[in-house]
A and B are shown apart, each in its own frame.
Chain A
Amino acid sequence: MADLKYAFRMLVKAPAFASIAILTLALGIGANTAIFSLIHDLFLRGLPFKDSSRIVRIYGEAKERDLKQLPFSVPKFWHYRDGQTVFSSIAADWGNGYILTGLGEPAQVLGENVTANYFDLLGIHPILGRNFLQQEEMRDDVGLVTENFWRKRLGSDPGVIGRSIALNGVATTIIGVLPDLPISWFGRDTEIFIVKPFENANATRDRLMRGYSFMRCIGRLKPGITMQQAQSTMPALEQSYRAQHPETADCTWTSVLVSATEDVTGDLRPAFVTLLIAVGAVLMIACSNVANLLLVRFSGRRREIALRMALGANRRNVVRLFVLESASVSVIAGIIGLCLALWIVDLVPKIAGDNVPLEGGIRLHWAVLVFTLLLSLLTGLAMGCYPAWQSSRADLIEGLKESNRTMSASRGQHRFRRGLVSAQVALSMVLLAAAAMLASSFVRLSNQETGFRSDHVWAAGIGLPAGRYPDPASRARFAQRLVEEVQASPGVEVAATVDAVPLSGNYSQTPYARTDGNPLPVNQRPLGLTRSISPGYFRALRIPLLAGREFTERDGADGPLVVILSSSTAKRLFPNENPLGKQLLFGVDNGNGLVAEVVGVVGDVRSRELAKTNDVEFYRPWPQRSVSFFNVIVRTSMNPEAAAPMVRAALDRIDKEMPILQPNTLDTIVAQSLGQRRLTMGLLGAFAGVALLLAVVGIYGAVAYTVEQRTAEIGVRMALGAQVKDVLRLVVRQGMDPVLIGLGFGLVAIFGTGRFLTAQLYQISPHNPMLLALTATGLAIAALLACLIPARRATSIDPIQALRSE
């Protein structure tokens, strides 16, 4: 206790040292705590479901056609539900939108159609009311709402159970209020659940039973059954499904189990591994900086050490005293770092947009606190031990004779300090290079030609309730009228509709085949991205028409089926042929798909991911392939957001109870599609900046200390005729030697660790010589500047004064 008190007293006595050391470490600990907190939230904490490690997602997969993470069809779900033996229960859901009326303004709310056992399987219990009953499935118009919905839209009505709300015009009785749900699993803004999982307004019953896949399937493993054991039972289910439903589109798919946690975080792992390595490096740089400071500080206290030993202390006592001092620094730094981490964690969802499933708001879990405490103590030990041990080796008698005169450091200490500088430079080199690569990738992606123009375009979703718009014809009439109304508004250049906006993350795929030759059976055909659009879509997005024609009003529900291909699709499906007039089979209708004629070819569009070209993309006329949800797209000659009131007014003229969903500019949608990359680049860039700052401070500190140690020597040299340039060369060379060694090690490390980055880079190699050269040069210049300041000071040493001080 006395030692601890003394340690704090020594820190207070040296505020400059304490401030620099604490701030340096706080940056390192704060960065690590922030990333650990995010990792804890995303990967470690698990989903807030009962025994979530036993919940798995079941996907379809067709490797030979490069199809992964495919959803379930109704017949397949029923087959698996009834035939499986490894799950205690199996459930399904699919995302849906509902128009809520009767509670003020009509509103579009997001929700899911789920099987009755869905929430029982997850172990989620309502805070009011009850879960669905099996006998209600596909029969009763009952619903569950989230706590957020209950509070905001129902005014926390205590009598909510039994209350009726209108969803898509259907009176639905609320039977329970669910606690707010994790967005990583349910997505943002999901508020309503109904128990009609096996009907879908976008598909007829015939299409549903032919293997139209739209449901997400989950299972809870029986006690004692491992994931591998469950996976091994899938082939038998696949075979029996194939035998009993040979005509379905999904009968050839294999089934793959993925743990629930991995399912929601799989894409994020590489980015967070990179960030974890980055913050680890920042902490190591911070530690080495503070270790260097401690070494200097402890070395300056040899008299005290000698005296303590003369009074009976042994080396262990001395080491303990100094380690306590370094641990005090690190624990204070840990507290500041924790505050810094909270700030970073709060900032992350804002940087990441909707692409990282993080809940908003500051949260502090005990695991994060324990992590920070352990990290702080470990840091204190790691950086304090060597300096303390080195300093405790002081010669007792020499130390007592020393009085307060500073003594030169030992060769071992010199080597240690130079080693620390080299390590800092090497780590900084790796981090800066990685940040430069990611930044370069991000710039390339941001400048990537999307194939369409997103400026001055506004988009919003509109859901058509099946009750009022039950068939393609009614949906087509609504969409056409809306486009005409909006088109007539002042400032609107083009209005159009599309089922899914490019780069919004929404898309649909359809089995396709050429009609000539021997088309494969439906269930063996590849899937191609398919968008349903209205005439004007290509003009609205400035997608060039390369051949043939655009869709017109004549391409209606009753007209001949037509399709427009992207340029890549035309080259792939009709190499060395004119695709116009050729025919393709689409979908699963009639068991063989419907024939559509190619009427046009348009430019390629990066519609799924900015980083990837689409091999195949089809466009179909909205009336011929309409679903209950579409987006209206408006190109204006003014601020695109001005389109919102025009569309609202147009909707009011057509159907007052039609809300607008997720309005946004297309520029924003494109920018949000880079959310995760922006997050990784932003964080890594910030960490690399911190690393550079710390490394420069470290180099400066080491060189400044050397100059102080060599003051007399420099004085002698100057007395003997050394010129300013000679002194500069002497100091800079000594300072830059470990820097150059560090740069060499850094380059080697980049070649060793580049593979971690490859997956996150775009059109750039992790070993790009130009960027590596620029990074190394930039770092060397920064280091040179750090050396020059103390070197300049060395040139102003007065030889006589220096010799006298000796």
Chain B
Amino acid sequence: MFYVLRDIDLDIAAGDFVSVMGPSGAGKSTLLHILGMHDHGWTGEYFFDETAVHLLKAKERATLRNEQVGFVFQQYHLLDDLTVYENLDIPLSYRHYSKSERAALVADALDRFQIVGKKDLYPRQLSGGQQQLVGVARAIIASPKLLLADEPTGNLHSSQGEEIMELFRRLNEEGVTIVQVTHSEKNASYGKRIIQLRDGWIV
């Protein structure tokens, strides 16, 4: 039997900003996907607030995820054939928002991230930093309590990376709990604490 993660005992408080570090294959992304309730091939207990995630059915888990968790990916993962506006609208379309609420939320996000002028552009028309900006905006548009970021600056040059990390700091100050996977010591320092993983173990 091969284990990706073993004996993970981890408490993350609301409002925390945790950086997960470790070499490739240590299990960082797997941990992130378990926290984000994408991965359910594990045993043990996982409480999100007071909710016992390990006891939830798939559908309930999906609902909880949709309501509470946002994701930022290293490759941005914007949908190539949707405009910036439509990319921001996508997560809302899968939740119970009315059309007018969705329009208001997207307008807010565009305003807040100062990308109003780019709302009709497609991802390929944006720089990497701009795409990740949209990726972050999309991740928080539904006001998640937890923001998970998998090497969010991995594909950006340093100045763009700093902008994103500053953005994360501001979001954290506003109350969003953040867990990020990173290889960068500098980026990790934006967090309040660092968790090191080696071969599936927390060290």
Give the B-binding residues of A (Cβ under 8 A).
2, 6, 9-10, 13, 303-304, 307-308, 310-314, 317, 396-397, 400, 403
Question: Which of A9, A307, A396 counts the most chain B CB atoms within 10 A?
Answer: A307
Q: State which residues 58-97 of B face A: CB under 8 Å.
A: 59, 62, 65-66, 71, 73, 75, 77, 79, 81-82, 86, 89-91, 93-95
* B62 in contact with A314 (CB, 8 Å): yes
B58: nearest chain-A partner, CB-CB: A314
Measured CA separation A304–B77 after assembly (Å): 8
Could you show 11 A-B contacts with beta carbons less than 8 Å apart?
Answer: A2-B89, A6-B86, A13-B81, A310-B36, A310-B71, A311-B91, A313-B94, A314-B59, A397-B33, A397-B39, A403-B75
Measured CA separation A309–B36 after assembly (Å): 12
* A307 in contact with B77 (CB, 8 Å): yes
Give the A-binding residues of B (Cβ under 8 A).
33, 36, 38-39, 59, 62, 65-66, 71, 73, 75, 77, 79, 81-82, 86, 89-91, 93-95, 138, 142
Measured CA separation A308–B91 after assembly (Å): 8
* B81 in contact with A9 (CB, 8 Å): yes
* A10 in contact with B94 (CB, 8 Å): no
Measured CA separation A10–B91 after assembly (Å): 19
Which residues of the partner chain A approach B65 to less than 8 Å between Cβ atoms? 312
Given contacts A397-B33, A403-B75, contact A311 B138 (CB under 8 A): yes
* B71 in contact with A396 (CB, 8 Å): no
Q: A6-B86, A317-B94 are in contact. List 17 more A-B contacts (CB 8 A).
A: A2-B86, A2-B89, A2-B93, A6-B81, A10-B81, A307-B79, A308-B79, A308-B90, A311-B71, A311-B91, A311-B94, A311-B138, A312-B65, A312-B95, A314-B59, A314-B94, A397-B33
Which residues of the partner chain B approach A13 to less than 8 Å between Cβ atoms? 81
Which residues of the partner chain A approach B94 to less than 8 Å between Cβ atoms? 308, 311-314, 317
Question: Which of A307, A310, A311, A397 counts the most chain B CB atoms within 10 A?
Answer: A311
Count of chain A to chain B residue pairs whose CB atoms are closer than 8 Å in the complex: 44
Which residues of the partner chain B approach A314 to less than 8 Å between Cβ atoms? 59, 62, 94
Smallest CB–CB gap between B104 and chain A, Å? 16
Question: Which of A6, A9, A303, A400 counts the most chain B CB atoms within 10 A?
Answer: A400
A3: nearest chain-B partner, CB-CB: B93
Measured CA separation A2–B82 after assembly (Å): 10
* B86 in contact with A312 (CB, 8 Å): no
* B38 in contact with A396 (CB, 8 Å): yes
Given contacts A2-B86, A396-B38, A400-B73, contact A312 B91 (CB under 8 A): yes
A310: nearest chain-B partner, CB-CB: B71
* A312 in contact with B66 (CB, 8 Å): yes
Which residues of the partner chain A approach B86 to less than 8 Å between Cβ atoms? 2, 6
Which residues of the partner chain A approach B38 to less than 8 Å between Cβ atoms? 310, 396-397
What's the dominant secondary structure at chain A's contact region? helix
Measured CA separation A311–B93 after assembly (Å): 10
Measured CA separation A317–B82 after assembly (Å): 16
Measured CA separation A574–B2 after assembly (Å): 98
Measured CA separation A9–B39 after assembly (Å): 32
Measured CA separation A304–B90 after assembly (Å): 12
Question: Which of B38, B39, B65, B95 counts the most chain A CB atoms within 10 A?
Answer: B38
Question: Which of A10, A312, A400, A403 counts the most chain B CB atoms within 10 A?
Answer: A312
Which residues of the partner chain A approach B81 to less than 8 Å between Cβ atoms? 6, 9-10, 13
Smallest CB–CB gap between B120 and chain A, Å? 13
Which residues of the partner chain A approach B138 to less than 8 Å between Cβ atoms? 311
Measured CA separation A6–B90 after assembly (Å): 11
Given contacts A311-B71, A311-B90, contact A400 B77 (CB under 8 A): yes
Measured CA separation A381–B142 after assembly (Å): 32
Measured CA separation A10–B86 after assembly (Å): 14
Given contacts A314-B62, A396-B38, A397-B33, contact A304 B79 (CB under 8 A): yes
Measured CA separation A689–B40 after assembly (Å): 52
Which residues of the partner chain B approach A10 to less than 8 Å between Cβ atoms? 81
Smallest CB–CB gap between A523 and chain B, Å? 82
A2: nearest chain-B partner, CB-CB: B93
Smallest CB–CB gap between A311 and chain B, Å? 5
List the 5 closest pairs (A to B, CB-CB), nearest first.
A312-B94, A312-B66, A311-B91, A307-B77, A313-B94
Measured CA separation A6–B71 after assembly (Å): 23
Smallest CB–CB gap between A4 and chain B, Å? 13
Which residues of the partner chain A approach B36 to less than 8 Å between Cβ atoms? 310
Measured CA separation A516–B39 after assembly (Å): 101
Smallest CB–CB gap between A183 and chain B, Å? 54
Measured CA separation A314–B57 after assembly (Å): 14
A401: nearest chain-B partner, CB-CB: B29
Smallest CB–CB gap between B62 and chain A, Å? 6
Measured CA separation A310–B91 after assembly (Å): 9
Which residues of the partner chain B approach A308 to less than 8 Å between Cβ atoms? 79, 90, 94
Measured CA separation A308–B81 after assembly (Å): 13
B38: nearest chain-A partner, CB-CB: A396
Measured CA separation A152–B169 after assembly (Å): 90
Which residues of the partner chain B approach A304 to less than 8 Å between Cβ atoms? 79
Smallest CB–CB gap between B46 and chain A, Å? 17
Measured CA separation A8–B93 after assembly (Å): 18
Smallest CB–CB gap between B160 and chain A, Å? 20
Measured CA separation A314–B82 after assembly (Å): 19
Smallest CB–CB gap between B14 and chain A, Å? 22
Looking at the complex, which one of B39, B66, B82 makes contact with A6 (CB distance below 8 Å)?
B82
Smallest CB–CB gap between A314 and chain B, Å? 6
B94: nearest chain-A partner, CB-CB: A312
A403: nearest chain-B partner, CB-CB: B75
Which residues of the partner chain B approach A312 to less than 8 Å between Cβ atoms? 62, 65-66, 91, 94-95, 142
Which residues of the partner chain A approach B77 to less than 8 Å between Cβ atoms? 303, 307, 310, 400
Smallest CB–CB gap between B182 and chain A, Å? 17
A312: nearest chain-B partner, CB-CB: B94
Measured CA separation A314–B62 after assembly (Å): 8
Measured CA separation A312–B89 after assembly (Å): 12
Measured CA separation A434–B38 after assembly (Å): 54
B33: nearest chain-A partner, CB-CB: A397
Which residues of the partner chain A approach B39 to less than 8 Å between Cβ atoms? 397
Which residues of the partner chain A approach B95 to less than 8 Å between Cβ atoms? 312
Smallest CB–CB gap between B109 and chain A, Å? 14
Measured CA separation A489–B36 after assembly (Å): 102
Which residues of the partner chain A approach B79 to less than 8 Å between Cβ atoms? 304, 307-308
